[in-house]
A and B are shown apart, each in its own frame.
Chain A
Amino acid sequence: MKKLLLFLSLAAFVITQYGCTKDFKELNTDPYALTLKQLEANNASVSAFFSVAQQNLVENGPWLTQLDNFYGDNFVGYVYPPSGFRANQYPCTFFNQDGWQDGLWGNAYENVMKQTHFIIKNAKSITPATPTTQAQIAIAKIIRVAGMHPVADGWGPIIYSKYAVANADLVSFNYDTQKDVYTAFFADLDTAVTTLSGLVASNSPSTFGGLDMIYGGDYKKWVKAANSIRLRLGLRLTRIDNATSKIQVQKALSETNGLITSNADNMHVAFNSSAGGGFIQVSRDWTDERLGADFETILTGYNDPRLALFFTPATDATVGPIFKGIRAGADISAKGDYVGYSAASEALWGQNPANWGGDLNVITAAEVNEALAEVALRGWGTGAYTASAQTYYEAGIKAHFDLYKIDAALYNTYITGTTLPVNYVDPKKTAHNATAVNLVPVKYNAAGTKEYQLQQILTQKWIALFPNGKEAWSEWRRTGYPKVFTNYLNYSGGTISTTDGARRIFKFAYSEYQNNAPGVKTAITALGGNDVGGTHVWWDPAGNTANF
């Protein structure tokens, strides 16, 4: 009986020892994830989200770079894949591959929109508000505009004001028209500039330097960045709403802290890697990226020293050791045919980004100066920015040469160049050959027509934007410059007109069709056309090609 009691008490012990639900909450707390509570120490609930948001303003890694190559870089003739993916049926030939563009959409939403949303939301919940939390909110808004305007430019309508605000069904999210998104961008910049310029004026010390990979917490530089982005976006509206365009441009020019006109103020992300970014990885490691025919022929025609800096001569024996690019929309049957064309320069891109200012530029002095040249050409100069178009044009080129540490003597020769872009010759397939189309020289012609001068300015802006294909594609859609070769293959099935030059929008994300069908309906209404690559976005009105 004693033994039995022992046995029973052992059984009872086992059951009572384990049998309780008191520890359920503890057990059901993932020890390797974070709760908001854990993030509150040192206000990491705000700061922890900055690094991802900032890094994703620029191409982050080879896969996204490759998507950029497919959607943007090739449209403006920067680069072209030698790979002939999927028997040439892919975005570079205007063939729609459902879902391929989702990576760019998803990255912007996941890593910029969402992160800035958390920064703003969590910073607002910290009471009382401090100058630091206010500055963090303001900077998050600038990052959000910088990261989301390429999305709005590519897709047109996007989810912005209704982000994280579901419809009555709780599960769908409406899109804003591109016009409303632009209005929201300007409003975001307004509040950010008001906050930060106030802090600059009161000499408020910045206390979050280490978390800011872009400006180390320098508020004045952030205001300059905000003003420069406003200039970029303001100019975007020249064709659709000239009055608003002028208002926003002049607002950017008159803000007391000024614009990014010197390389020291460039907005770029210090990428924490010693081996370059995605640009070199796609070219070198994946061998999926080669020089584009437009970049080759225009820079060759100009004897532009930047071509040899950015690319290496062809290694293919039938081409010879010259710079050779691939025609947009090329018909490529074997990768081996084109992989020996000019590749990205390991000597430049393979090195520490600190040596070359980074390919990871968001907005630079070179671009801003070219924008100021256009502003001058339009006669909108004001405040501290009233010099001539030619002055800004040349200052832009100089800033870009300086960024890449190119000898000043080369610059002096360059700006007097009168040679024109050369014709494109493809040694592998003569059908790809094309006569030069962007027939303006480097030497500025202040006596030329406004269109002529604009073409010169936009051509240099295009070079300065390299390799930011998305922004160059937007500027090309807005102005038509530089003139680029038409796509050789057009597998759009008639939805993109070859004579219209290029794809005009990205198709809405495949995942959105799957998961947010009611929202996509609002998007298509907002787009005002079919969701195909040939439809124009709001600021690029179809049929209106007048720049002035």
Chain B
Amino acid sequence: MRTLRLLTLLLLLSSVAMAQTRLISGTIRDAKTGSPLPSVTVKVKGKSISAVTNADGGFSLTAPAGDVTLEVSSVGYAPKSIVAGAGSGTVSIMMEVSSSDLGEVVVTALGIQRKAKSLTYSTEEVKGPALTAVPETNVMNALQGKVAGLNTFRGSGGAGSSVNVVIRGSKSFGNNQPLYVVDGIPYENNSPTQPAGIYNGAALPDAGDNLSQINSDDIESISVLKGAGATALYGSQGQNGVVLITTKKGRAGAIAVDYSLNYNLDKEAYGPKLQYTYGQSSPGANYSWGAKGSFKDPRGDFFVNGNTLTNSVSLKGGTKENNSYLSFSNTHANNIYPNSNYNKNTLNFRQSNSYWGGRLTADANVLFAEQHYKNPLSPGLYNNPITGLYLFPRGLDFNSFKNNFEVFNVPKNYSLQNWWNIDWIANPSGGGGDDNQQNPFWILYRDVFTQKTDKLYSSLNLKYKFTDEISLQVRGNLDKEYRTLESKLSSGTQTVIADPLGKYKLFKYDNQNVYADAILSYNKKIKDFGIVALAGTSLTSTNNYSQHFEGPLTLANVFTLANIKYANLTAEEHLYRKKKEAVFGSVNLSYKDYLFLDVTARNDWSSALAYQDSRPTKSYFYPSVGASAIISEMVKLPDFISLWKLRGSYAIVGNDFDPYQTLFYYSFTNNQNGTTASNSVEPYPGTVLRPEKTHSLEFGTEFRLRNDLLFVDFTWFKINTKDQLVRTVPPTGNLAHEWLINAGNIQNTGIELSIGSTPYKNRDFKWDVYATLYMNTNVVKDFNGINDNNVHAIAGADAGNMTYFAIKKGLPYPTFFGKKFLRDKDGYVLVDTSAGSVGKPFSSLVTADSTGLGTAIPKALIGFRNTFTYKGKLSVSFMVDARLGGQAMDVTQAILDEYGVSKASADARNGKGSFLPVKAKYVGGGAVSSIDPQVWYAGVAGRGGIAEYYMTSATNVRLRELSIAYILGGSISTKTHNIIKGMTIGLNARNLFFFYKKAAFDPDIAVGTTNGNQGYNAMTAPATRSFGASLKVSF
């Protein structure tokens, strides 16, 4: 291995030293619009020298002395060749739009490059510049609204958060995230800790995911394979779609250096509406249901400006045979809470070599990424600074607790938390106060959570061409990741959360993933017929080991394992271990390059299925078939139509389940009570677990008019996921903690529409529009035929006392369930008549409810992006996106109302005497004309309140992105060298404003990215509005 590295380095150096000849550089532009053309291949005719233009249309290459012919080619443009005379060092090339756009090559499953026109399913590609125009610390956030059929929920942790990506709707009761593939090889994306439920703060915040480890400047493009047909070859992991990330690689030519700098300013925005006109109920009271007055909003004394600074530099160069790419990036972000930040360093090296006259090619990549999180923003009621901030009783002085968040305690001889309801003299042992609202500054400075992640990723891809028709490819990757999470809860923290002398939690993760495959491919063209066939085998091995230590301290505030009280130490270790093997094959037939037929087949063996020796549960097989036709080439169409394509595919994808579920176990813990043993998970009574299968049918068409006037891509899909493995909660009488059942048939039916157009262009000005529409209807068609009418609570998904998530036949998955109002037959809410609570609403039995409160799944997503380019130098782009339909549950509002700190509660009090939020009747009849606001909110509000009242529409329309970029003209050169070849400056903004939003919070933000933790807000950090500036320089 060391020799190989040394060799690679030598090759790189030699390729640089070789440049004995002359340098040709230039710019390639669209002949009509004058806009620079990126990704254009420039070749020296008759030589193996080539280059590709950068984002600004610039290129440079080393050519032999004398006259050379440069051949340029680009998708959508007619190929062109020009002669560069012996003396010319710079050239300017104008390209004409070609009559046909069909030559485009896209990356598909397993990294196989295919002509776009031959595809029988829908894919969509987003190029690097569109991803980095408005920088994100997790690149997947940049895809929202840019790909039809893709929906993201942003994690709650601030900078470096994980992101939940769902393609074509939630299909599985289990994992719904797509498979990520980097340069053809699967890239494990796990997020070891995710907040869940409203008491989360006592647990762990969002620990980020592996995608946040990728430097977005290293990304060339992202392709999204949406349907099962596209992903069948990836097997189970591709069931939810595949996100293919193609990273930048070296280019032939002299070393090119690109530097980019991004600065972003984040401002707290879209927080809840609070009141400052009614004071604390009484001295010492938690609630603010007191007398009228005028008080100060403490939020200004708490939130700070967040900012993100990213520096990224890359070098690329080499020869056609040996080229390399090296990049380094640093991101430092401060969140909008004090003492909450994120730091990331990435180092990426990629080397591509070819040997034996190009017969063997080797492509190797090494990535090192280091991330450090301090106090990521954590949702929930516990250990969350914003609960204390929002609920702070009106009329008290917040600032006095800001700088003095701790007070020295003489008897204890160290400092303890200082907060309005804590009194260490009256309550020397616990201090008093409330578990769900502590001093925000104490939490951030004395209950510090940190996470450190180191990742080392390496991959190697070898390809040998036996003949022009037959080749063999062997490749693999090794992905190692180490995470350390520490939570240090100081003495003086509420003792529900910590212990009197403090608490220490330590989590260590040691993850290793290996992937390897070998693919033999055959490619032949006989007259009008073409065949591409491949056969392969793959192996995936996952070994995720974790340790967890936790316990109260012996000496105050000494956060070491040795200082944990031995009798109360929790020590656990876990190993998530799985191996999967597969054989697969595919045949693609074509006729005259306008009719295409794809057939794939795959069989998987998974270690998770061990102990199940009966067919069909031992391994699983699944096929796919697809066809497409280019009508525009088959029949003569009017001249203005440049492309019309029809396509259709049907595919089945199988999926296994988590390990260790086929054997009965006792769980095992060691705590202060001695050794305990208890059983854990078991299959649903009387069943053998089967792998789940996704059946996917899609039809689509693409339509293109000449001169970019209009491009339309439309897809209709129907996806049924059957035999899902569901984790349900068994009744008391059963011995297992959880039951696993093959159940359900979740159906997602929908459409995707992408429209691109250049409505106007002249020599100087160009207007491009790109719009996406995605609509999906999600329904649970069947449960298991035995107890279809029951509401099945989803294990591990719980929004506290207020709602839970469940599966029920006939309803979308997942559906919110929770308390509703008790209503009479006419729909009037029934309220109490007893003394002291006249007007208090009654709630109906949740358990009698079978319709739920709605789902977080949107009905439609619309993205609308406009780009205006002037003289190819100045471009302005903005994106509006809309999420239509879907419900959100606002637990935050319920708590704010309970405490009397919400604006709604003040408005109600202002209108006291006529306050009647719903049409209501007294129990036993009698119309209600008004309800006392405090009585009303005592009935509906709080974390155990009436959920129905706090369901709100998640529909929103926002200006998601706005960016302005300017390419500085001309290059700075000396006599012999160009010092600076191009420079672009840009300004951008994200989440500038909402055109429409009903919910009091940003419904894009999820408590956690796991199923059932989306669509509700439980003291989640407010969304931000951000402004940025960027500079890109090419040397």
User: Are B674's CB and A166's CB within 8 A?
Assistant: no
* Cα distance, A315 to B421, chains bound together (Å): 16
Interface string of A471-486 (1 = CB under 8 A from B): 0000000000000000
The answer on a CB contact under 8 Å between B575 and A25 is no
Q: How distant is the Cα of A272 from the Cα of B671 in the complex, in angstroms? A: 10
Min CB–CB distance A137 → chain B (angstroms): 17
Listed stretches A197-205, A244-252, A293-301, A509-517; interface member: A509-517
A169 to B733, CA, bound (A): 13
B467 an interface residue at 8 Å Cβ cutoff? no
Which A457-512 residues have a C-beta within 8 angstroms of B?
489-491, 493-494, 509-512
Stretch from A108-116, A228-236, A439-447 forming part of the interface with B:
A108-116
Cβ of A336 < 8 Å from any Cβ of B? Answer: yes
Q: Is the CB of A36 within 8 A of B664?
A: yes
Of A24, A32, A55, A346, which contacts B610 at CB under 8 A? A24
A52 at the interface (CB under 8 A from B): yes
A interface footprint on B467-481 (CB within 8 Å = 1, 0 otherwise): 000001010100000
Residues of B within 8 A of A48 (CB): 675-677
Interface pair B898/A28, CB less than 8 Å apart: no
B476 / chain A contacts, CB cutoff of 8 Å: 14
Which of A36, A39, A274, A339 has its CB near the most chain B CB atoms (within 10 A)?
A: A339
B539 touches A32 (CB 8 A): no
Q: Is the CB of A334 within 8 A of B539?
A: no
| Measured CA separation A273–B551 after assembly (Å) | 14
Instruction: Report how far A172 CA is from B729 CA in the complex, Å.
Output: 12
B808 to chain A minimum Cβ distance, whole angstroms, is: 11
Say whether A286 faces chain B, with CB atoms less than 8 Å apart: yes
B673–A52 contact, CB under 8 A? yes
Bound-state Cα–Cα, A262 to B148, Å? 78
Check A512 against B732 for contact (C-beta < 8 Å): yes
> Residues of A contacting B973 with CB < 8 Å?
none
Once the chains bind, are A286 and B731 in contact (CB under 8 Å)?
A: no
Q: Tell me, in angstroms, the Cα distance from A155 to B427 when the chains sit together.
A: 37
B286→A27 contact, CB < 8 A: no
User: Taking the complex as formed, is B496 at the interface, i.e. its CB lies under 8 A from any CB of chain A?
Assistant: yes
Residues on A with C-beta less than 8 A from B845 are: 98, 513
Flag whether A278 is at the interface (Cβ < 8 A). no
Contact B728 A28 (CB under 8 A): no
Give the Cβ gap from B659 to chain A, nearest Cβ, in Å. 5
Residue B635 at the chain A interface, CB threshold 8 Å: no
Please tell me if the beta carbons of B944 and A97 are within 8 angstroms of each other in the complex.
Answer: yes
Q: How far is the CA of A530 from the CA of B733 in the complex (A)?
A: 22
Chain B residues near A386 (CB, 8 Å)?
Answer: none
Question: Which residues 289-323 of B have a CB within 8 angstroms of A?
Answer: none
- Contact of A7 with B675 in the complex, beta carbons under 8 Å: no
B667 touching A171 by the CB < 8 A rule? no
Q: How far is the CA of A312 from the CA of B763 in the complex (A)?
A: 89
In-complex Cβ contact of B360 among A7, A31, A511 (8 A): A7
In the complex the two chains form, what is the Cα distance from A106 to B837 in whole Å? 32
The residue that B678 contacts in the complex, of A7, A8, A115, A339, with Cβ under 8 A, is A115
> Which of A156-164, A184-192, A357-365 has 4 or more CB atoms under 8 Å from chain B?
A156-164
CB of A264 within 8 Å of the partner chain? no
Query: Which single residue of chain B is at the shortest CB-CB distance from A334?
Result: B285
How far is B284's CA from A337's CA once the two chains are assembled, in angstroms? 8
* CB–CB B462/A515 < 8 A: no
CB <8 Å contact, B786 and A30: no
* Contact flag A32-B573 (CB < 8 Å), given A337-B284, A514-B729: yes
B572's nearest neighbour on chain A, judged by CB, is A32
B518 near A11 with CB under 8 A, answer: yes
Contact of B665 among A3, A4, A34, A106 (CB under 8 A): A34
Binding-face segment, B253-261, B429-437, B985-993? B429-437
Judged by a CB distance under 8 angstroms, whether A29 is at the interface is yes
Q: Are B578 and A27 in contact (CB-based, < 8 A)?
A: yes
Residues of A near B356 (CB, < 8 A) are: 3
A87 sits at the interface (CB 8 A): yes
CB closest residue in chain A, given B668 = A34
Is A21 a contact partner of B847 (Cβ separation < 8 A)?
Answer: no
B610, A515: Cβ atoms closer than 8 Å: no
Measured CA separation A25–B786 after assembly (Å) = 31
Are A170 and B685 neighbours in the complex by a CB distance under 8 Å? yes
Assess whether B662 is interfacial by the CB under 8 Å rule: yes
| Choice from A23, A337, A519 contacting B733 with Cβ under 8 Å | A519
A25 to B500, CA, bound (A): 46
Report if A545 contacts B (CB, 8 A). no
Contacts between the two chains (Cβ within 8 Å), count = 258
Given A7-B464, A27-B607, A98-B819, verify A49-B284 contact (CB < 8 Å): no
* Residue of B474, B500, B567, B686 with most partner-chain A CB within 10 A: B474
Contact present for A171 and B731 (CB under 8 Å)? yes
Q: C-beta contact mask, A110-131 vs B, less than 8 Å → 1, else 0?
A: 1000110110000000000000
Q: Is the CB of B575 within 8 A of A99?
A: no
Q: Which interface residue of B607, B680, B733, B939 has the most chain A CB atoms within 10 A? A: B733
- Residue of B575, B609, B672, B804 near A272 (CB, 8 A) is B672
Question: Which residues from B are CB-within-8-Å of A89?
Answer: 938-939, 942
| Chain A hits for B790, CB < 8 A | 515, 517
Confirm or deny: B730 has a beta carbon within 8 angstroms of a beta carbon on chain A. Answer: yes
B567 touches A273 (CB 8 A): yes
A15: B residues at CB distance < 8 A: 516, 518, 537, 539
B957-975 interface with A by 8 A CB criterion: none
Bound-complex Cα distance A21 to B668 (A): 28
A335 in contact (CB, < 8 A): yes
Known: A19-B537, A19-B581, A285-B495. Contact between A164 and B847, CB under 8 A?
no
Least CB distance from A355 to B in Å reads 18
Q: Which residues of B contact A512 (CB under 8 A)?
A: 731-732
Give chain A residues whose Cβ lies under 8 Å from the Cβ of B1032: none
Q: A272 to B472, Cβ gap below 8 A? A: no
- B735 near A164 with CB under 8 A, answer yes
Structural contact, A32 and B518, CB atoms closer than 8 A? no
Instruction: Known contacts A27-B610, A98-B846; decide if A166 and B673 are in contact (CB<8 Å).
Output: no
State which residues 705-748 of B face A: CB under 8 Å. Answer: 728-735, 739
Could you tell me the distance in whole angstroms from the C-beta of B549 to the nearest C-beta in chain A? 14
- Closest A residue, CB atoms, query B681: A33
Structural contact, B685 and A166, CB atoms closer than 8 A: yes
Instruction: Report the separation of the CA atoms of residues A346 and B663 in the bound assembly, to the nearest whole angstrom.
Output: 48
A353 at the interface (CB under 8 A from B): no
From known contacts A29-B660, A51-B675, infer whether A519 and B731 are also in contact, taking CB-CB under 8 Å.
yes
1/0 per residue, CB under 8 A from A, across B636-676: the answer is: 00000000000000000000000110111111100011111
Question: Quick one: which of A8, A105, A118, A346 contacts B732, CB cutoff 8 A?
Answer: A105
> Given A19-B539, A336-B283 in contact, is the A52-B676 Cβ separation under 8 Å?
yes
A165 contacts B by Cβ under 8 Å: yes
Closest to A97 in B: B944
Q: Are B666 and A169 in contact (CB under 8 A)?
A: no
Give CA–CA (A537, B641) in the complex, Å: 81
Chain A 245-288 interface 0/1 with B at a Cβ cutoff of 8 Å (1 = within):
00000000000000000000000000011100000010011110
The docked-state distance in angstroms from the alpha carbon of A170 to that of B539 is 38
Whether, in the assembled complex, A393 has its beta carbon less than 8 Å from a beta carbon of chain B, the answer is no
Residues A491 and B281 in contact in the complex (CB < 8 Å), given A97-B944, A166-B733: no
Q: Are B282 and A333 in contact (CB under 8 A)?
A: yes
Q: How far is the CA of A107 from the CA of B541 in the complex (A)?
A: 39
With a CB–CB cut-off of 8 A, which chain A residues contact B500?
285
Besides the known contacts A118-B677, A513-B845, 8 further A-B residue pairs in the complex with CB atoms under 8 A apart: A10-B474, A19-B539, A24-B607, A28-B663, A89-B938, A286-B495, A336-B432, A517-B847
Residue pairs across A and B with Cβ atoms less than 8 A apart, 7 shown, are A10-B474, A14-B474, A89-B939, A97-B944, A170-B686, A287-B432, A335-B285
Interface of A toward B, CB cutoff 8 Å = 3-4, 7-8, 10-11, 14-15, 18-19, 21, 23-25, 27-36, 39, 44, 48-49, 51-52, 55, 60, 86-87, 89, 97-99, 105-106, 109-110, 114-115, 117-118, 159, 162-166, 169-173, 272-274, 281, 284-287, 315, 331, 333-337, 339-340, 346, 489-491, 493-494, 509-517, 519
Q: 4 shortest A-B CB distances, which residue pairs?
A: A336-B284, A173-B733, A516-B731, A513-B847
